[in-house]
Structure formats: structure tokens, C-alpha cells
Structure 1
Amino acid sequence: MNLSDFLRFFNLHLLFLILYFIGTGQSKVEVPRPRGVSLSRTGLYDPEKNFTCLDGSKSIPFNQVNDDYCDCQDGSDEPGTSACYGGTFHCPNAEYRPENIPSYRVNDGVCDCCDGTDEYSGVITCVDNCLEVGRAAREEAARIAELYKAGKQLRADLAQEGQKLKNEKQQRLNELKKTKEEADKVKAEREELKKLAEAAESKALEYYNQLEEEQNAKRAELEAAQDKEQAVQFFKRLDTNGDSYLTLEEVLARKCFDKNRDGQVTEDEAKYFLNSEEQLDLEGYLEKAWPQMKPYRVLDSDMDIPPKVENEPTEEAPTEADDLAPLEGEEEEEEEEDEDTDDQEQVQQEEPPKPQVEYDEATKKLIELASQARTAFTESENDVRQINTQITDIERSLTQDFGREEEFASLEGQCFEYEDHEYTYKLCPFDKTLQVPKSGSMEITLGRWSEWDGPEENKYSSMLYTNGQNCWNGPNRTTKVKVSCGIENKVTSVAEPNRCEYAFEFETPAACKESSQQAENDLHDEL
């Protein structure tokens, strides 16, 4: 066989093989995708085989798929009808993004899929507007991609600033701890000096304290004697018949005992002053009646005096002058007190001023030194307290979750406002949320920082603030803050979807974590 014959044979053989494979490919029938089934699940619906329910509960002939009768408990045999409760229908939505809808919406007269595939019964004709919807979605996705692209650098700057702040706080914390060690030493030294100074002061004052106690005892004894003398004189004035007993009738005759100022002394009022007794001798009067009568004695000048009868013997009867005469040693006191009793109010005798003990110069010096030591120690206590407060604040801040790269750290200590027609709302990240009425009323705390509350895959997309002020007859207020990418920090909306539950929307470059490539991928996934 020469070369030309070999080539002819080879070409014929090659042509035969090509025709064979073409014929084999044409003979293969493509499996149609059942209505309502996504492309990823097409292989589970093979018309050449019995259909097995997706929950594995049973198998049925394939001709029972989409026959408008629910055979599978999970409804997987009716992906294209509304026969099964809880089933889903897949919308291909070419030129837009595919989606699943509840199967009860199939053929319900409403176009749920933008391509109209859910309404095939002919009851309604749906227009395929996926291209228009997809165009709007692409434009929005492109806008978001540009936003993330612009916010990416801003977020990087915030992350760099956050790391710097963290390093500065750590450095400041180390310095404060060293300062605290020195402050603790100074405090301990001043405390010891204070103890020594106070011990010397206390020892020096022992003599003067004892002297003062003796003076106080003498003064109390003198005051008691004066009080008893006044009580006895007042008893004599009230005992008009001189029988050494103070009776109910004698009290009733005295206008000064008109407690309620109604113009007469009642029996109840008289018994009050006699401690519910009908009569009292001097000893009983001193014990039971004088404490109640004492505040009223200065009003005795207003006592009712029976009119004097002419030619009446007066050897034993008290005269008006006697009845109104002031007690011994009370002339000046009663004159001053009468000036303050124009409205017939009760007046109590003022206690005499307490005499001051005069210290010698050595004792004065010890008192001054002790006072200085106490002041110095108090200053050290305040210094240590302030340092401890700063350390606690910095340690709390260092343990705060400001994002994976500290990108949210710069928000701490700032507040951002949002106004509506009635209130000004404030978001203070990592601290609290507030509602401030424009009427000037007191601000209301809507919540205090609790934690990041976003889903696991995007933890930093939501903030939670709890334990706000209590609603009237309701729970404590809470706030959820939705955090999204933006080229500046600002609160864009505030709502109260449920009573005492508030929803803020907050934009910040710190949330622009996606790269421009990821945003483009998201756009591709949607379409």
C-alpha cells in the first residue's frame, strides 16, 4: 500500500469516527427541567426514574411530579404547583437574580416572579420585566461598589488611627500604673504622718476635753436649777387658790393653754397639759406637766383674769399685777420674745451659747499640724482615686471590641445627632443612646452599650444598647443600631418599630470592610 492509499484509508476512518460521535450526540435527549425547580436541583428530578421525596420518606412514579397533588410530606414532588403547604417555587428570573417564593403564591393571580413564571394558568398575563429590574439592581450594585471603593481607604485610615489610639492607651496605662505606685507610697506615708499627728493632738486635747465636760456638767446643772426655779414660779402662778395642787379647773382658766387658738381652753386641752390627770402636786407637775407647759408659759400674759370686784378682800387673792408679773430673771427675755409672738405662736427659750475652751499655743500648734496632715492625706486619697478611675477606664477601653482591626475605635467618646420634628436623638457609640425633647424636658436614655449584635458572618453590622430608662408601665428601653458603609459618620434614620424598642441606622466608613472586587462579586451573584 502506497502513501496515497494509506492517507485515503485514514481519512475515511476518521470521517467514520466523526460521524459516529455526531450521531451518538444527536441521539442523546436532554432531560427537561420541571417547572419550579432550580438548576442546581435538576438532577434530582429525572423523568426516566421514580422520584424520591427530598426528605427520603418515599418514592413515587415521576408522572406524579407536578400533578397538583401533594404526595411528599416535604412538598418536594410539587415544586411547580400550589398543592403542597410549605413548598417553594423557583423563579429563574433571567437578567436578574433567581429567587424562591412560597408555593401558595403560584397561580394566585399576582405576578411574584419578575419573569412571570409563577403565573402560567392563563388567569393573568405577567410581563417579563426582569431586564428593567435587573438594570436598576445593577445600577444600585454599581453605586454600592463605588461607595465601598471610596470607603475602603477611609476605613483603612480609621483602622490605622484605631491601632494608634490603642497603642497610646496602652502606653498611658503603663505610665498610670507607675504613677499609682508612687501615689500609693505617698498616701501610705501621709497616712502614717496623719496617725502620729492625730495621736499627739488627741493626747493634748484630753485635758481640754475633760475640762469641757466639767464645764458642760456645771452648765447643765445650772440650767436644770434655773429651769426648776422657773417651773416652781409658774406653778405658784397657776395655783390660784394656793392649795399646792394644780387642778383641771385652774388650767381651764388660762387662755395661754388654748392650743388650737379657737378662743377657749377645752377639757381635752387642759388634760393634755396635766398629762391626763385631774390634779397634780408640785412633784407630779414637775415630772408630768412642766415639759408640756414650758413652751406656752411666755403666753401667760394673755391669760384670762377674772374681773376685779371693788371692795373685795385681796389679802389672799392674787392681783392682776401679780398674775402678769414676769418670772425672776426673765424680764429681758420675755420682752424680746413678746416681739415675736404677735400671731400667738409657740416660742421656745433659746439655749445659751456654749462656751469655747481656750487652748494654749502648744495645743493650737498640734491641732494645726493634725489638720494639715489630714488635708494632705485627703489629697493623696483623691489622687489615688483619680488614678484608679483612669486606669479602670483605659482597661475597659482596651478590652472593648472595636472591630477586627480597631476600625471603630475612633467613634468612642463621640456623639452623633439626628433630628425629627419633635426630638433630637443622640448615638454615642459604646456608651448610650438618648432622646432629647425639643420642648426642653429632661433627656431620656434609650439604652446603654451592651454588645455587637450582628449575625455571625457580619458581627459588626449591628449594635445593641439595653437597660435604658423604664417605660411607663412597660419594660426598659432598648436600641438596635444598624451599621452600614458610608463616607461619613452620621445617623440617617430613627424609628420606634415596637413600644420602647428603638431602631437607629448609622453610616460610617468603618463599616466599609468589603473590597471593590468583593462588591463586584456581590453584583455578579445578584445578577
Structure 2
Amino acid sequence: MFPSYVNLVLVSCLFISVDSGNVEQIVLRGVQTSLLSMYIPSKPFTCLDGSLTIPYEFVNDDYCDCKDGTDEPGTSACPNGRFFCENKGYVGSLIPSHFVGDGVCDCCDGSDEYETKTVCNNTCFELAQKTQAEREAQRVLHEAGVAKKKEIISKSIAIKSERQTHIDELERDLQSVENELKEKEELKRQAEIPENQAKEKHQKLWDEQRAVRETIIRNYQIRDMFADLDTNGDSLVSIDELQKHTELDLDNENEFTIEEVRTILGSDSVNLDEFNTTVFDQISNSYKRLPKPTTPIPEPTLDSTATPSSPVETSTDEKNIENHDETPIATSLEHEKHIHDDTPPEFDDETKQLIAIADQTRTEFDQVQGRVLDIKRQIEDLKKQVNIDVGIQGEYSAFIDQCFDYEEREYTYRVCMFKDAKQIPKGGGGDVAIGFWDAWTGPIENKYLRMKYVNGATCWNGPARSLTVTFRCGIEHKIIDVREPSRCEYAMIFETPSACDEKMAASSSHSTHVEF
């Protein structure tokens, strides 16, 4: 059995050359160059996972001995084996070992079909040329993009310096305007002292006048109500006289008892002074005049001189009396409302002048205060811009306060850098927030290749919308694609010079052989 393994090794595994009588191993088929040192014909072979050591003759004997398949790099014996395509002149590659000898040319140099009659054209040179052309196109793109990127960085440095200078100027202006505001506030305070004194004096006089008027009218109401109740004219209001006014029965039991009336009067009868101090305020809001008894009008006779069509005339005085009798007596509360609704008299000329002076100081104070708030807002906005992370060199500074749109069939997608992103329906309806600026989330080697927008509008029975923006090199700032790979999670591809790579731009255009 041993000679057969040797023959297999000699036939399928090794290329050899004879030099001065010495046999030299040149290459072992299917093994990466970096691993050749693990395959020494004069020593037993240890599986690369360390699980087993076998005679070297077992390597590439078309029988899988190692669990990791490393003893059969040049055959299809191991299902998990890997065959290395050297692909000289192009890029070395690994293919599954079961592709070896299957009649299909998988390696561009055809080395995977060394044991078959399949004729494989060596396409490595053409692939190398194509790859080199693609790399050169990328290099040219990055070179042009880096040139624009440098312009952005240069402008960023200047703009950042200008913003900081502007902030310093505004802070100096703010200090000056705040001092001015303090002066205006003091002038306003001084002007408002005599103004308030004059207004208080005016109000006090007006309150006194209203109090006098209210007292007069209240006294009139008391006398009028007392006279209306004193039906027998004895200058007293008795239980019998008040008991007729059942509207004063507040317990609504349909009976206004003597005891209830006595509780209101405080005795069997009261005079005017007692009515004023004890009774009036209790009944004034509910009291109503009793209707006057009416005298029936006789039917006209046939021999009457009045014609049937002539109406019976009522004198104006009678109408007024009837109307007066049916009108409830005005109460003190009604009068109080009337008094408070009265328009106070105009201020005197001296008070008007004091008000005008105070108004002017208030206007000047408000104007200066508005300037203070405006300067503070400007400073806050500029500091926010200065503090935005726009890349290590400021390469993304051109995005500040900029929005970009992408049109597709149903929607317009709009991203405002470092702010928010929206989905705008073309068929009408409100905008949908798909995220608000959160952070840079690119790979460790360059986090500035991806940004994240989160906490957008919540999907129906789903999560909050979010957007991931991936940047790649381009000559212009533009969105080239927007998709929704997962529900409510949007992905945007954005081309920009800011993402172009200096190393790629400076890379050599000559072809180099790369081996895995």
C-alpha cells in the first residue's frame, strides 16, 4: 500500500525539478503559499486543527483523514476542504474542494481541473486587466473626490474660524446690550413709580365715587322694597306681609311657614332700620313684587256710544304703573354688577403724560430685551454648529444646514443632515418622520462612513422608524438609493467627496499579485 501512496503523491501532488542530483519540492497543489511550511514531505503531517498526525504520504491521497480536511488540499475527498487557486497574474482564491475535478473551470488558471480532460482557458490575465481597470476607475474617482474633499476641509477650517470669531463678537455685543438692558430696566422702573401712583390715585377716587353711588342706590332699593312690603302702611314689615312672598321659601316645600318667616325677620315685625340691617340682604336676590289685582272691564252694551271696533284705551300712566308693578325690584347684587361694568372716567392730562412716558420706557426696554434674546439665539445656533462632529478634518462640514432629496415613484425622501429625515408622499398627506439625527455608526476604522437617524414615527403595530445613511466616494453630494430592507428600517446610499479615501487616491495604478 505504501508505494501506491507514493505514486499518488508524485503524480497528483508535486511538481519536481532535478538540480545537481538533488530533488527539490517546488509547490504542493491546492495549498496556499503561506501554509506550505506545514507540508514537509520528510515529516509526518499534522492536521492544521491539531486533531491528528498522519504519515505525509496520506496527504492528497484522495482519502479524508483530517476533520478539517487539510490533508486533502488538492483533491475533492473532504467535503469541508478548501482548494487554493494560485491564479498567477491575478488574485489567488479559495474554492470548496468538491469543485476540484468536477469538469467546471472554477480557477481562472484551470488548476482545479488538473486531473480531468476538461480544457480550461487561462482567463487570469483578462480578469486582471478588468480588475485593474476597475481599480483604476476607483482610483481616479477617489483622486478627483479627494481634491474636492480638500477644498471642503479648507473651507471648513476657514468657516469654523469665522464662526468662532463671530461667537466672540456676539458675546462682546451681548455684554454691552445686557448693560444697556439694565439701564433701560432702571429707567422703566423709575417711570412706572409716578405712573402707578397716579393710576392708584385715579382708581381710589373712582372707587370712592362708585361706593357713594352704590350706597345711594342701595338705600333707595331698601326703602322701595320696604314700602312694597308694608302693605298696611304702619312703617313695619310683619310676618303676615312677608309670608305672602312665597318665592322666598328656599326649602321648596310649597309652604312658607310662620316660623320660616320669623327666622328671616328675626321677630314678629321689623322697622326700616331693622329691615336694612337684618332682612334686606337675605331676600334681595329672590324678592319679586306681587302682581296687582286687575279690575274687570264691563262688556259694552248695544246702546253704547262706543263702536264695537273701538278698543278700550289704557292711559299711559296706567301702563307705566302696570309695567312698574310687574318689574322685580333691582337688587344690590344686580347693582353691584352694574357698577363694576361701568367704564371709569378718563385719566387726567397729568396722568396721561406719566403713562406716555412709562410706555416709552417700556417700549425701549422691550426692544433692547429683544436684541438680547436675538444675540443669545445666534450664539446658541453657532455653538451648536461648531460642536457638530463633522469628521476628523471637518470633511462633512458642507452638510451643515443642508437637505437632500431623492425621488422615487410614490415618495420623496428628504434628509437634512444632522437634523432629521422624512418620507413625503407624492399623492398627498402629511410628511412622515423616519428618524432624527443620532450618531456616526461606521466601522471602527472609519466611523464617518455611516450615520444613524432614530426615533421616527412609529409604524402601525411596529417599531419606530429609523434610517441608516451609508456614505461612499462620489464627485457630488447626492442620494443615489433609498430602500426599506426591513420593516420601518430604511437604508440610504449617499455619494459625496467627503467619503473619498486619500490612500486609495494615492494607490499605484500598476497591477499587483494578491494571494489569500
Find out whether 1:204 has 2:198 as its counterpart: yes
Q: 2:470 aligns with which of 470, 474, 482?
A: 482
Deviation track 1:135-156 (CA, whole Å, cap 9, x = no partner) reads 4333322221221232232222
* 2:246 equivalent in structure 1: 245
SS in 2 for 1:402: coil
Partners of 1:89 and 1:276 lie apart in 2 by 108
8 Å Cα contact 2:221-2:329 kept in structure 1:
no
* 1:49 equivalent in structure 2: 43
1:205, CA displacement in angstroms? 2.8
Partners of 1:31 and 1:392 lie apart in 2 by 71
Partners of 1:521 and 1:30 lie apart in 2 by 34
Q: 1:147 aligns with which of 141, 147, 153?
A: 141
SS in 1 for 2:198: helix
Partners of 2:153 and 2:437 lie apart in 1 by 21
8 Å Cα contact 2:142-2:505 kept in structure 1:
no
Partners of 2:338 and 2:95 lie apart in 1 by 90
* 1:29 equivalent in structure 2: 24
Q: 2:384 aligns with which of 396, 403, 416?
A: 396
Partners of 2:251 and 2:105 lie apart in 1 by 96
Q: Could you tell me the percent identity over the aligned residues?
A: 34
Structure-2-length-normalised TM-score? 0.67
The one-letter amino acid of 1:362's match is: E
* 1:268 equivalent in structure 2: none
Change (3 A) 1:464 1:200: same
- Name whichever of 464-473 and 104-113 sits farther off: 104-113
1:494, CA displacement in angstroms? 1.0
Deviation track 1:470-523 (CA, whole Å, cap 9, x = no partner) reads 333333322111111212221111111112211111112222232566343696
1:374, CA displacement in angstroms? 2.4
* 2:494 equivalent in structure 1: 506
SS in 2 for 1:139: helix
8 Å Cα contact 2:457-2:464 kept in structure 1:
yes
Alignment of 1:57-136 (within 5 A): 59-62=53-56, 69=64, 71=66, 83=78, 90-100=84-94, 130-136=124-130
Alignment of 1:186-197 (within 5 A): 186-197=180-191
Partners of 1:504 and 1:43 lie apart in 2 by 47
* 2:358 equivalent in structure 1: 370
8 Å Cα contact 1:436-1:442 kept in structure 2:
yes
* 1:464 equivalent in structure 2: 452
Change (3 A) 1:506 1:211: same
Q: 2:419 aligns with which of 414, 418, 431?
A: 431
Runs of 5+ consecutive residues of structure 1 not aligned to the other structure: 1-21, 236-241, 249-273, 298-307, 312-320, 331-348
Change (3 A) 1:31 1:513: closer
8 Å Cα contact 2:136-2:509 kept in structure 1:
no
SS in 2 for 1:456: coil
Deviation track 1:16-54 (CA, whole Å, cap 9, x = no partner) reads xxxxxx98665142154353x322222233343334454
Aligned length: 437
* 1:18 equivalent in structure 2: none
Change (3 A) 1:130 1:513: same
* 2:175 equivalent in structure 1: 181
Alignment of 1:96-495 (within 5 A): 96-100=90-94, 130-214=124-208, 243-246=244-247, 326-328=326-328, 353-495=341-483
Partners of 1:196 and 1:442 lie apart in 2 by 52
Deviation track 1:148-178 (CA, whole Å, cap 9, x = no partner) reads 2322322222222222212211221121111
Change (3 A) 1:204 1:152: same
Deviation track 1:263-314 (CA, whole Å, cap 9, x = no partner) reads xxxxxxxxxxx88766667879x999999x99xx9xxxxxxxxxx9x99xxx
Partners of 1:130 and 1:28 lie apart in 2 by 30
SS in 2 for 1:355: coil
Partners of 1:46 and 1:436 lie apart in 2 by 67
SS in 1 for 2:159: helix
Partners of 1:405 and 1:25 lie apart in 2 by 62
Change (3 A) 1:355 1:507: same
Partners of 2:219 and 2:99 lie apart in 1 by 104
Structure-1-length-normalised TM-score? 0.65
Change (3 A) 1:157 1:128: same
The one-letter amino acid of 1:466's match is: V
Change (3 A) 1:220 1:111: farther
Change (3 A) 1:182 1:96: same
- Name whichever of 510-519 and 97-106 sits farther off: 97-106
8 Å Cα contact 1:432-1:448 kept in structure 2:
yes
Change (3 A) 1:458 1:469: same
SS in 1 for 2:401: coil
Deviation track 1:198-237 (CA, whole Å, cap 9, x = no partner) reads 33333333323434555666788899999999999xx9xx
Partners of 1:520 and 1:507 lie apart in 2 by 24
- Name whichever of 169-178 and 429-438 sits farther off: 429-438
8 Å Cα contact 1:146-1:516 kept in structure 2:
no
SS in 2 for 1:43: helix
Change (3 A) 1:124 1:30: closer
Partners of 1:212 and 1:34 lie apart in 2 by 115
- Kindly report the root-mean-square deviation, in angstroms, between the aligned alpha carbons of the 2 structures: 5.1
SS in 1 for 2:422: strand
Change (3 A) 1:212 1:145: same
Change (3 A) 1:507 1:207: same
8 Å Cα contact 1:141-1:523 kept in structure 2:
no
8 Å Cα contact 1:479-1:504 kept in structure 2:
yes
Change (3 A) 1:511 1:200: same
1:441, CA displacement in angstroms? 2.2
The one-letter amino acid of 1:30's match is: Q
The one-letter amino acid of 2:92's match is: P
Deviation track 1:220-261 (CA, whole Å, cap 9, x = no partner) reads 8899999999999xx9xxxxxx8433599xxxxxxxxxxxxx
Partners of 2:125 and 2:371 lie apart in 1 by 70
8 Å Cα contact 1:31-1:47 kept in structure 2:
no
SS in 1 for 2:508: helix
Partners of 1:377 and 1:108 lie apart in 2 by 91
